[in-house]
Amino acid sequence: MKRRKVIDEVQELINTYCEGCPVKKQLRIDGGKTRAHRFCIRECTVGERIRRYGKHLT
């Protein structure tokens, strides 16, 4: 997969699903920024997809 295409795919995922995510917003209120970030990386299905795309960039 071409690097530019991977970056575009990740940006599209973030714009579509992450911006304004109510789960992330609530977790930031309840547990802080670190808790919300941890959820997004480890538990969210969109975060898992972004991680997979990230492996193509390394």
pLDDT of residue 58: 80
pLDDT of residue 13: 97
Domain with 49, as residue range(s), is: 3-11+20-57
pTM, whole model, 2 decimals?
Answer: 0.81
Tally of structural domains, the chain:
1
How does pLDDT run across 13-34, given as a tens digit for each residue?
A: 999 999 999 999 999 999 999 9
Q: Which sign does the torsion angle of CA 27, 28, 34, 39 carry?
A: positive
Q: Contact, 29 vs 17, CB < 8 A?
A: no
